[in-house]
Amino acid sequence: MMRYFQISILLLLFFSCSLPTTKGYLEKEVSKTNIENDYFSNEKTDYIYKAKIDIYNKNFGGILIIKKTGVEQHRIVFTTEFGNKIFDFQITKGVFKVNYILEELNKKVILNTLQDDFYILVKKIIKVDKQFDAGKEIAYRSHFDKDYDLYYFLLKEDQKLFKIVKTSKKKEKVIIDFLKINNNIGTKIDIIHQNFRLKIHLNYIGN
């Protein structure tokens, strides 16, 4: 009876700590060490989106522009439709610089969250260490830092990236969905946090 109880506890711990991220996927030998996210990799393109950002109980709408300005360097500017800046960031080789941010958003937790979201969104070369297969899809795991991992989901047929999931060891934290893709541009993108009141909705309106 005691042995049965111990086994039950171990099984409960195992399943309670497992992630739903790769449920239904079968782990395979890693076929490549790096994958690429090309959606923001063209220096000749201004990636212009109509954007809606909901954070806590505040809603911001306007135009978001993402511009690749050099090797591992992007500029991200969010303005109202009348041209007033909401924020202006630069990411260079993982280093985040705030050129401007609206005072009511200028809080450490918000800045850190936006930094991670946009860094994940635009990072082109991703080093992977695990691979999972399921039907027409394939997923790769990459370490983000000591506390978090990233899972990149691609279609096997054309190797198009359609989802990124940021996880802790126990929970999914952020889901980035590339809901529509056209000419190697993510034309409809949702960034949804699971335990933080932040949602970003992007709809591509042109170059």
User: For the residues of the chain, what is the DSSP string, one character each?
Assistant: -HHHHHHHHHHHHHHHH--STTTT-EEE----SEEE--TT--TT-EEEEEEEEEETTEEEEEEEEEEEEETTEEEEEEE-TTS-EEEEEEEETTEEEEEEE-GGG--HHHHHHHHHHHHHHH--EEE--EEEEETTEEEEEEE-SSS-EEEEEEETTT--EEEEEEE-SSSEEEEEEEEEEETTEEEEEEEEESSSSEEEEEEEEE-
User: Each residue of 52-93: pLDDT tens digit?
Assistant: 999 988 999 999 999 999 999 999 999 999 999 999 999 999
Residue 199: per-residue pLDDT: 97
Domain count, the chain: 1
Confidence bin at 121 (pLDDT 50/70/90): very high
Average pLDDT of span 93-120: 95
* Domain presence at residue 1: no
Confidence bin at 2 (pLDDT 50/70/90): very low
CATH number at residue 177: 2.50.20.10
User: Each residue of 142-196: pLDDT tens digit?
Assistant: 999 999 999 999 999 999 999 999 999 889 999 999 999 999 999 999 999 998 9
Listed residue (90, 78, 159, 87) closest to 122, CA to CA: 90
* Domain presence at residue 29: yes
Distance CA 140, CA 149 (A): 10
Confidence check: pLDDT of 115 > 90: yes
Structural domain for 126, as ranges: 22-206
CB 105 within 8 A of CB 87: yes
Confidence bin at 38 (pLDDT 50/70/90): very high
Confidence check: pLDDT of 18 > 80: no
Q: Which residues contact 109 (CB under 8 A, 6 or more apart)?
A: none
Cα 198 to chain centroid distance, Å, stands at 13
Distance CA 53, CA 18 (A): 31
Confidence check: pLDDT of 7 > 50: no
* Domain presence at residue 14: no
Confidence check: pLDDT of 3 > 90: no
* Domain presence at residue 4: no
CB 161 within 8 A of CB 152: yes
* Domain presence at residue 72: yes
Average pLDDT of span 131-147: 94
Listed residue (194, 159, 158, 195) closest to 176, CA to CA: 194
* Domain presence at residue 7: no
Residue 11: per-residue pLDDT: 41
* Domain presence at residue 141: yes
Neighbouring-strand partners of residue 52: 61, 201
Residue 10: per-residue pLDDT: 42
* Domain presence at residue 65: yes
Average pLDDT, whole number, for the chain?
91
